Chain A
Amino acid sequence: MRYVDEYRDPRIAQALVDRIHTRTKKPWVLMEICGGQTHTLMRYGIDELIPPKVELVHGPGCPVCVTPIEVVDKAAEIAARPDVIFVSYGDMLRVPGTRSDLFRVKAHGGDVRIAYSPMEAVKIAANNPSKKVVFFGIGFETTAPANAMAVWKARELGLKNFSELVSHVLVPPAIRLLLNSAENRVQGFIAPGHVCTVMGYWQYKALVDEFHVPIVVGGFEPVDLLEAILMLVTQLENGQAKVENQYGRTVDYAGNHPAQVIMEEVFEVADRKWRGIGTIPMSGLRLRDEFAVYDAEKIFGVEALEAEEPAECIAAQVLQGLKKPIDCAAFACQCTPEHPLGAPMVSAEGACAAYYQYRRHAASLKCIA
């Protein structure tokens, strides 16, 4: 299959692995930002192929994982209302809130539906005028344009029964937070290819200049990631720090301008809380005031709902690349995808879930579910 097979080609992959081995002289710590990239690294065992000196740590780029627990609670509360059809991307349904999750709400009779696109929710709203249709608008810059478009379209259609529960987060502020941390070990980043498809990579230049850290925009296939690792190691060994683009088949410098325009029109940058990390200033998006009538938090009066996450949770360290999932005593024991204790175990893209799904047999664990 074109655009897939060549990026999983064992010969091309092996050639890249050989070059990484030749190039690597010193130990380096690299972070892939996106959960989709973590998933590929684990699924294909790429950490087994590269030199042990090159350590891969896993970043906070799993949108499901970093959605704050109180937002999940808000979703559950809204979805449980009899007058609501709650529409969500599939992998948000299993995410545990403090008391419930969307699957549980559905089991209790809530009308919770999975959609592949927020435009489906707009259609549902148009077809069900007696119901309030709420779309769970979460994710990084990747999903933001489509979620913005849904609100824009609802306004164009004059829909009074459509709203979004918005909890959007942005990648560059999270990288900045990691780099500003006294505990930071990361020396090079693989930037998320899909986010950059929308945003381009101009935003990363400032980070590279300020922190002298190489950033390579990477794709999601094994060959993409090996190439991105090679590019990072090459820069690091040469003492360079620049933004490079490995994922040129979809990403360019400026990004998708129409997508950026619609995001800008509907959303504005705001402080956001990240599950497991805490509030990061100006790290997310919220609906602009002129779109306030589409804001589910306001419509359903759940703005004030708060939930506490204990600061000592290891999820925070995992999401910042300070700890590996297998460093956790609960991993694969008390904490499994069926009984997740923390955010990174919840979504298939979470670092803990990726380790659990693909690699836990290799870890010398006393306790395996």
Chain B
Amino acid sequence: MSALTLNCPVPAVARDHVSLGHGSGGKLSAELMRDVFLPAFRNETLERLEDQATVKLGNVQIAMTTDSFVVKPLFFRGGDIGSLAVHGTVNDLAMGGATPLFLSVAFIIEEGLPMETLRRVTASLGRAASACGVQVITGDTKVVDKGSGDGVFINTTGLGLTPEGLYLSAGAARPGDAVILSGFIGDHGIAILAEREGLEFETQVESDSAPLHTLVAQMLETTRAIRCLRDPTRGGVSSSLNEIAAQSQVGILLEEEAIPVRDEVRGACEMLGLDPLYVANEGKLLAIVDPSDADKLVATMRRHPPGLEARQIGIVTESDRGWVTMRTVLGTTRIVDMLAGDQLPRIC
């Protein structure tokens, strides 16, 4: 068959404009990084593509990360944009093994936002920061015309200290390593979806938004044989594991039966045609660890609230390099692909 016979309906995927999929954490986001940002800013630290940058300043290792929060609705079951803006950045630092210390907070506020809403968000952000033991030490405010924003957008930048000699990396996974997940997946994404305007879907699911740095500190005390930590936020568990498989050039084989999903989340996903593996989390982590320390690590995690449901969900393999695969409940194997953009609810 010649390629010439394949001029079927012309592709019209937007490449000349940014589409929402570019912000999904999937392949389009990776493309944006590769084609636009990396060429403009190229340096060795950025090229590692970790959740945080770790740099040496004199005798100390500093971790730095930044994240913007554009969640709608601003308040949701289990959290709000304020607490989320703290947890998201604290967790990105924690995934590098760093102790979070300082935050900057920048608000982009839409004209007309009720002052009361701003106060509630700010108070929640402040409470979350103190609970995490981090200080907000600088910030910025901009106000945009009505219609140019969505209530309020928040950017937080975090600074932390990484223990001497610790270097966790998505490129460090080795065949044989255990893949550990800290708990139920998909809670945040489904909690948000359930509250979105127009989706008449009732569920009691709460966002799992929570800081993970104390859990990580306990984990690092238990073993230094952790290769990599990732918090599977947008794009879900699948995107994080695909990044690790690609950057480490290893395969990752998951056991479908081992992956914990709450019944409410499963039910919502079944109805909406979504796969929990691609749904966002805001208080979960994935750990890649030397197999001999896996049980010990799980035991430690299970003693700390964000890790009570921790378990091994798969292994790192020599075969299928660059792929994440899953042994299904029926014993067959399938790919767990990285999505192009956001998951789209199916028609029927």
Contact = CB atoms under 8 A, between A and B. Distances in A.
Interface in A323-369: 327-330, 334-343, 347-349, 356-362
Interface residues of A, number: 82
A285 interface: no
B8 A314 contact: yes
A97 interface: yes
B19 A104 contact: yes
Contacts of A10: 329-331
A224 B11 CA distance: 35
B348 A309 contact: no
A338 B26 CA distance: 11
A328 B345 contact: no
A312 B3 CA distance: 11
Interface stretch (A112-120, A180-188, A202-210, A292-300): A112-120
Given A45-B328, A46-B330, A143-B347, A340 B13 contact: yes
Contact of B6 (A44, A313, A360, A361): A313
A68 B31 CA distance: 30
Interface in A249-280: 275-276
Contacts of B8: 276, 309-310, 313-315, 341-343
Nearest to A91: B344
Interface stretch (A134-142, A155-163, A169-177, A234-242): A134-142
Contact of B272 (A97, A116, A138, A139): A116
A45 B340 contact: no
A98 B344 contact: no
A48 interface: yes
B250 to A, nearest CB: 14
Interface stretch (B84-92, B96-104, B263-271, B307-315): B263-271
Contacts of A9: 329
Given A140-B348, A142-B348, A361-B320, A94 B266 contact: no
B199 interface: yes
A8 B256 CA distance: 12
Contact of A96 (B1, B9, B273): B9
Interface residues of B, number: 50
Contacts of B20: 103, 106-107
A361 B325 contact: yes
B329 A113 contact: no
Contacts of B344: 90-91, 93-94, 114, 348
A334 B6 contact: yes
Contacts, number: 182
Contacts of B115: none
Contact of A329 (B6, B27, B320, B334): B6
Contacts of B43: none
Given A44-B328, A45-B330, A361 B323 contact: yes
B346 A90 contact: yes
Contacts of B270: 4
A342 to B, nearest CB: 4
B334 A358 contact: yes
B347 A358 contact: no
B335 interface: yes
B335 A313 contact: no
Interface SS of chain A = loop
B276 to A, nearest CB: 12
Interface in A36-68: 36, 42-46, 48-49, 63-64
A222 interface: yes
B131 interface: no
B198 A113 contact: yes
B150 interface: no
A326 to B, nearest CB: 12
B49 to A, nearest CB: 19
B9 A275 contact: yes
Given A107-B18, A313-B7, A334-B3, A91 B345 contact: yes
B345 A329 contact: no
B14 interface: yes
A204 B325 CA distance: 39
A107 B332 contact: no
B17 interface: yes
Contacts of B320: 361
Interface string B269-310: 010110000000000000000000000000000000000000
B348 A222 contact: no
Contacts of B272: 116
Contacts of B263: 1
A194 interface: yes
A9 B325 CA distance: 20
Contact of A313 (B9, B27, B329): B9
Interface centre among B1, B198, B270 (most CB of A within 10 A): B198
A108 interface: yes
Nearest to A99: B12
B5 interface: yes
Interface of A: 1, 4, 8-10, 13-14, 36, 42-46, 48-49, 63-64, 69, 89-94, 96-101, 103-104, 106-108, 113-117, 120, 123-124, 138-140, 142-143, 194, 222, 275-276, 309-310, 312-315, 327-330, 334-343, 347-349, 356-362
8 contacts: A46-B330, A69-B9, A90-B347, A91-B344, A97-B12, A116-B272, A194-B348, A334-B3
Q: Which 10 A-B pairs have the closest CB atoms?
A: A45-B332, A313-B8, A342-B8, A90-B344, A90-B345, A96-B12, A358-B334, A338-B340, A89-B347, A104-B14
Given A93-B344, A108-B17, A348-B344, 15 more contacts: A45-B328, A89-B345, A89-B347, A96-B11, A101-B13, A106-B19, A114-B345, A139-B348, A310-B7, A315-B9, A329-B1, A329-B3, A330-B3, A340-B13, A347-B347
